[in-house]
Chain A
Amino acid sequence: MAEQFAEPVRQHLYSLNLGPQHPSTHGVLRVLLTLDGEYIVEADPVIGYGHRGHEKMGENRTYLQFMPNTSRIDYLSGLLYNHGFCLAVEKLTGIEPPERARYIRVICAELNRISSHLLWFGTYLMDLGAFTPFLYCFDDRENILDILDRVSGSRLTYSYCRFGGVTRDIDDVFIEQTRAFVKRLRSRWKDYHNLVTKNVIFIHRTRDVGVIDKDLALRFGVTGPNLRAAGVPFDMRKVEPYEVYDRFDFEIPVGEKGDALDRYRVRLEEMEQSCRIIEQALDQLPDGPYRQERVRLKVKPPRGEVYFAFESARGQTAYYLVSDGSPYPYRCHVRVPSFGNLHCLTEVLRETLVADAISILGSIDIVVPEIDR
């Protein structure tokens, strides 16, 4: 009887599946962890569970028909993706939207950016075990969704932009609500800082955790707040100003060493900068048409290609469109920021604790359907 158990198990490395159905992976993501005790030896993210073939779909429908797809690539910043797609097609075709439409798009896009960051804020804190901030920021986020719902008709997948304008004009109520929202959000910073930023448990869970420095970012193509947290002031709105972003006075918040705490600070500061952009855009908002009338439903860009990069909530996003002169794109490629941001985890997660892995994964702010496309 005793002989059966005589041989002890020598192997001390073991595998653990984090996900695909795990609340802290924010979508259907599986990370295959190889563990030595509580330390991670190797992490291999397994993606593709939500692959829908957006790029193939893009080749089989007209440019306008692809618009609803764009807000479903990243469902948390759908309007930013609509906006970028619109700008790419306009650049390819040579459509000039009227001034008012440009401002409306910027206002709505920045509102969407705040809502995306607020959701990240709430869920990240929930991953770390704090429940109250989640309720606070969903309360604030609800305001944005109501405002955008009023003007676009939906709460998440907006499809609000059109080539040469937007679907509906904004009215005085929208402007009033937006101003009230910005004012209200500003009054909330104090609560957020008291609840979270000064919280000693939070600081211990994030400081010096998951450092992504400039060198690592360069190797993996990390962009967005994750890159800016490493101290690189690289933001498409500043380096390649599109739409009317060059008319506004705003800053690019940067961090120092690129740990999870820096990423948190950068995103929080970015929301304040978005508020500044919204206020300035509301002040400068011109009268006039909100949509270019002479745009065909089936736009036919000339032969050629365009690579259009813009800043979504998670980083540098780009559409690469190749046109053969027909109403259907010949190739429609989307460069998504979360792809590079997640890939660098293979390096960052090495030799960290499993508990820190949750904190790092949350602080990167990934949206899995965006990676899977």
Chain B
Amino acid sequence: MAARDEVVRRLREMLGEAALAPDEDYAKGVSWTVQVPAASLPEVLGVFKEAGFYLESMTGLDFQDTLEIVYHMNTYEPRSRMAVRVLCPHDGEVPSATGLYDSALWQEREVWEFFGVRFAGHPDLRPLLLPEDSTERPLRKTFGTVHAYRKREEIYG
């Protein structure tokens, strides 16, 4: 618990109270959700790194108005998982986390090839799971058959 509280304290100072949302019951599987502007992502992940967190999962969400990258951070203590969420326009860029976490090398390649998010500062953006000459962005809602393509507020509003 100690590591989690330390991160929450430092992020409060850095981003202000409004950016953090607690989930005491762990109903969504995370204890805190942090909304971060893309520019301050490296600092925020640096705080996690210093507290001994690892990058558990990283994925994208495609909405009509924006893309969203969700990082799930966890450490070896009970109920410490925290979500870091970054909004990014469809043709936008997000700073890379590869300097902090080696696991981001592959995870960012995956998000890049499936969603078309560019990671500024990633040393080696090649397709990972898709064929090496692929230019499609399969997990965007504009690819193939999709059930629904919604605005972000329709789900999180």
Contacts and interface: CB of A to CB of B under 8 A. Distances in A.
Given A221-B103, A304-B28, A232 B76 contact: yes
A318 B56 contact: yes
Contact of A51 (B29, B79, B129): B129
A220 B102 contact: yes
Interface string B114-157: 10000000000001111100000011000111111010001100
Given A48-B127, A347-B102, A326 B79 contact: no
- Interface size class on chain B is 35 or more
Nearest to B79: A240
Contacts of A60: 144-147
Interface string A331-373: 1010100011001100100000000000000000000000011
Contacts of A56: 138-139, 143-144
Interface in A299-324: 303-309, 316, 318, 320, 322-324
Interface string A219-237: 1110000000000101000
A344 B148 CA distance: 37
Interface string A46-69: 011001010110011000000000
Interface residues of A, number: 44
A272 to B, nearest CB: 23
A303 B7 CA distance: 29
Interface centre among B57, B107, B155 (most CB of A within 10 A): B57
Interface string B54-74: 111101010000000010100
A306 B130 CA distance: 27
B22 interface: no
Contacts of B59: 320, 331, 333
B79 A55 contact: no
A77 B56 CA distance: 20
Nearest to A223: B56
Interface centre among B54, B55, B150 (most CB of A within 10 A): B54
Given A240-B79, A318-B56, A307 B106 contact: no
Given A48-B127, A307-B81, A318-B72, 20 more contacts: A47-B129, A51-B130, A55-B114, A56-B143, A59-B147, A60-B144, A91-B27, A219-B101, A220-B103, A221-B103, A304-B155, A307-B30, A318-B29, A324-B155, A328-B147, A328-B148, A333-B57, A335-B56, A343-B102, A343-B103
B76 to A, nearest CB: 5
Contact of A330 (B30, B78, B155): B155
Nearest to A333: B59
B17 interface: no
A9 interface: no
